[in-house]
């Protein structure tokens, strides 16, 4: 049973536009959420996170929104750049700092 | 700081062989993790450790063993390799929620 779901396997956007990546979770015990970015043949790298006591966190071009009642979070990238093309993983944690990952969304930013 | 290093980068094993995937971190993190990633799937936790001498099973531990004798090292042992263990293996470490990953080991069992 998937506890963290990324329902869009892929997303294509034009350079300069907004990219919105979505993530849903089912476990109400999750209280910390993270986004990771992964290039081919490399390990995932941490991008941005949000605690369940917040509903928004910003870091430069990246903003994560959390809707606890809907068990939904999203990552907004504005403006999107070709170098943002990668697989983005949503992850959630409840205890012991263990992470549960979604299957990932492949973002392609076209010049 | 090298961060998290993994060796080897690639390996081909025959069915029934054994091997150890090495993982070392130089960030003095207490927590270390092993994941596997299959094509089109997210990362699944195999084993984790909250400190030297303490390990515990993750979501998919069968066919694997770990040990943690030092803070820096967290090797993953595959005994009697099976084709189902063909995957990319990632090691990670953390002092909190943000985990830092190594570059991965691509393992093929034929």
Per-residue pLDDT of chain B (110 residues; tens, 9 = 90+): 789 999 999 999 999 999 999 999 999 999 999 999 998 888 999 999 999 999 999 999 999 999 999 999 999 999 899 999 999 999 999 999 999 999 999 999 99
Report the residue of chain A nearest B58, measured CA to CA: A98
Q: What is the DSSP letter of B73?
A: B
Is residue A95 predicted with pLDDT exceeding 80?
no
A40 touches chain B (CB under 8 A): no
Are the Cβ atoms of B97 and A41 closer than 8 angstroms?
no
DSSP3 helix / strand / coil % (chain B, rounded to 5): 5, 50, 45
> Residue A84 has what pLDDT?
98
| A2: number of Cβ within 10 Å | 13
Residue in chain A lying closest to B100 (CA): A45
- Note the residue count of chain A: 111
Percent of chain A with pLDDT over 70: 100
Question: How many Å apart are CA A12 and CA A32, to the nearest integer?
Answer: 28
């Amino acid at each position: 049973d998937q506890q963290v779901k990324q329902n869009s396997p892929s997303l294509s956007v034009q350079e300069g536009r907004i990219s919105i990546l979505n993530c849903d979770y089912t476990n109400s015990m999750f209280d910390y959420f993270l986004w990771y970015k992964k290039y081919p043949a490399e390990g995932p790298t941490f991008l941005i996170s949000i605690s369940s006591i917040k509903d928004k966190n910003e870091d430069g071009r990246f903003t994560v929104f959390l809707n606890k009642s809907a068990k939904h979070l999203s990552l907004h990238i504005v403006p999107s750049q070709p170098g943002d093309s990668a697989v983005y993983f949503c992850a959630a944690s409840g205890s012991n700092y263990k992470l549960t990952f979604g299957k990932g969304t492949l973002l392609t930013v076209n010049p | 700081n090298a961060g998290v290093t993994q060796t080897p980068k690639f390996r081909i094993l025959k069915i029934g062989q054994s091997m150890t995937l090495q993982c070392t971190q130089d960030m003095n993190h207490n927590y270390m993790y092993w994941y596997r990633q299959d094509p089109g799937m997210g990362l699944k936790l195999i084993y984790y450790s909250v400190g030297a001498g303490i390990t515990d099973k993750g979501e998919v531990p069968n066919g694997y063993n770990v040990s943690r004798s030092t803070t820096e090292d967290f090797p993953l042992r595959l005994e009697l390799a099976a084709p189902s263990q063909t995957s990319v293996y990632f090691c990670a470490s953390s002092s909190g929620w943000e985990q830092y990953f190594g570059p991965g080991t691509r393992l093929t069992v034929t």
